[in-house]
Amino acid sequence: MLFYLLSIPNLLIQQLMSSRRKFLNDSIAGTLSLGLLGVNATVVASSETCATQRPTTKGMDKALVISTWNHGLVANDAAWQVIGKGGRAIDAVEQGVKLVEADPKVTSVGYGGLPDRDGKVTLDACIMDEKGNGGAVCFLQHIKHPISVARKVMDETPHVILAGAGALRFALDHGFEKENLLTPGAKAAWEKWKKEAAYKPIINVENHDTIGLLAMDQHGDIAGACTTSGLAYKMHGRVGDSPILGAGLFVDNEVGGATATGMGEAVLKTLGSFLVVELMRQGRTPAEACKEAVMRIIKKQKYKDIQVGYIAINKEGAYGSYCIHPGFNYALLQNGKQGVMVDADYYKG
Ligand code: GLY
């Protein structure tokens, strides 16, 4: 499955990661206008070390939202609109990622996502609440908000995952609209790709990857959501880590939550988000747990040409992250303050 990844030139990856770093550096102390929601968020690019930051007070001060990549800034703001009013984390995470699913400029999530090799946009998503409930959809086409379908699977069926045509039928039966998710821009990119049809997924660059969002509400309850269009130009039918509880996302309200971004196959083979939560249960900080989950990939898999990043929060409201290669960042919003971007710590060999 990963044979094509081995052909990614390291140099190309480094150049592209360097572009991302340049973007982050350019953003220091700048203001990024985020058209969605009309939000203006000051983006402070700061580096993270393995030392986990620990908020000290409870209630509102402890509440936080954390999510992958720059598109997490607007998602966090939308999530905070729920949490700031005393709402539940599960509602916050759904509202947060929906904003990114609807944004045609984000080409790795929802509407506007890059299609598979057959030109079909196929979506994966999952959601987990504070009670240990979970719902997911995978290989879902034509529905702009797979996260809301996943929520309905969780809330209104005895099942956890619905796939493909069954997931679509379920969505239509529950009032979701059938839409064409292939935007003109994504179609043009696919047609250009088809000329060579070479499989060279570039995880840090496909206009970012999965959005995974974790939130702790004012009641101290934790929930998470994860949604993606998956690898651009993947094989038709491919499902990644994002809709799999324990892989792309895991929440245990006694301990914390974790979510993944990057090459789903590597996350699936290590059940990474479950691993992060279990490591936190054993006493690791979120950053330490994320680092160990990345190290499991590094020890056993061909990691040089793939990116995987984890973010995690624990019950104390501490947070952390780790990734394989530089270039992964996450958005953090605490106490209703302005959102910031944080560069994840990464493996240095
Ligand atoms: N992490 C998203 C995917 O591999 O599909």
Binning pLDDT at 50, 70 and 90, where does residue 204 land?
low
Residue 86, pLDDT > 60, answer yes
116 lines ligand 1 (CB under 6 A): no
Which residue has its alpha carbon closest to ligand 1 atom 5?
Answer: 230
Point out the least confidently predicted range of 27-36, 59-68, 235-244, 273-282. 27-36
Q: Ligand 1 pocket, 148 CB below 6 A? A: no
Average pLDDT, the chain: 85
Residue showing tokens 């529950």 = 174
Q: Per residue in 289-337, pLDDT tens?
A: 999 999 999 999 999 989 999 999 999 999 999 999 999 999 999 988 8
pLDDT at 272: 98
Q: In the chain, pLDDT over 70 holds for what percent of residues?
A: 80
In this prediction, residue 49 carries a pLDDT of 43
Going from the Cα of 239 to the center of ligand 1, the distance in angstroms, rounded, reads 8
- Looking from the CA of residue 261, the nearest atom of ligand 1 is 1
Nearest protein Cα to ligand 1, atom 4: 264
**Alpha-carbon span 335 to 22, nearest angstrom:** 29
Q: What pLDDT is attached to residue 34?
A: 34
Residue 51 or residue 191, greater confidence: 191
Asked if the model's pLDDT at residue 90 lies above 50, the reply is: yes
Between 6-20, 42-56, 158-172, the lowest mean confidence (pLDDT) is in 6-20
Cβ contacts of 43 within 8 Å, gap of 6 or more: 27, 28, 30, 31, 32, 70, 73, 339, 340, 341
The verdict on the CB of residue 268 being under 6 Å from ligand 1 is: no
231 lines ligand 1 (CB under 6 A): yes
Backbone angles phi, psi at 233, to 5 degrees: 65, 25
Catalytic residue chosen out of the listed positions 52, 107, 122, 210: 210
Instruction: Assess whether pLDDT exceeds 90 at residue 67.
Output: yes
Residues 245-290: tens digit of each pLDDT: 999 999 999 999 999 999 999 999 999 999 999 999 999 999 999 9
Give Cα separations from 18 to 7, 10, 62, 209, 329 (angstroms). Answer: 19, 12, 34, 17, 13
pLDDT in tens, 136-172: 999 999 999 999 999 999 999 999 999 999 999 999 9
Cα angle 139, 145, 146; round to 5: 30
| Tens digit of each residue's pLDDT (9 = 90 or more) over 70-83 | 999 999 999 999 99
Residue 62 Cα to ligand 1 middle (Å): 30
Structure tokens given for 252: 């245990």
In this structure, the strands spanning 134-140 and 211-216 are unpaired
Which two tokens mark 205?
């660059």
Q: Is the CB of 210 under 6 A from ligand 1?
A: yes
Nearest to 210 by CA among 159, 158, 153, 273: 273
Q: Which fold has domain 59-343?
A: Glutamine Phosphoribosylpyrophosphate, subunit 1, domain 1 (3.60.20)
Which residue ranges does the chain devote to CATH 3.60.20.30?
59-343
Q: What is the pLDDT of residue 41?
A: 37
Which atom number of ligand 1 is nearest to the Cα of residue 238? Answer: 5
* Average pLDDT of span 197-205: 68
Q: Which of 7-21, 133-147, 187-201 shows the lowest mean pLDDT across its residues? A: 7-21
pTM for this prediction: 0.85
Question: pLDDT value at position 17?
Answer: 36
- Which atom from ligand 1 is nearest to the alpha carbon of 240? 5
Least confident piece of the model among 19-33, 136-150, 182-196: 19-33
Please indicate whether residue 203, judged by its CB atom, sits closer than 6 Å to ligand 1.
no
Using the mean position of ligand 1's atoms as its centre, give its distance from the Cα of residue 37 in Å: 26
| Residue 183 annotated in active site | no
Ligand 1 within 6 A of CB of 309: no
Dist. CA 55 → ligand 1 center (Å) = 31
What is the per-residue pLDDT for 208? 67
227 lines ligand 1 (CB under 6 A): no
The pick from 231, 244, 268 for probing ligand 1's pocket by mutation, whose C-beta has the most ligand atoms within 8 angstroms, reads 231
Find the range with the poorest average confidence among 10-19, 88-97, 100-109, 146-155.
Answer: 10-19
* The residue count for the chain: 349
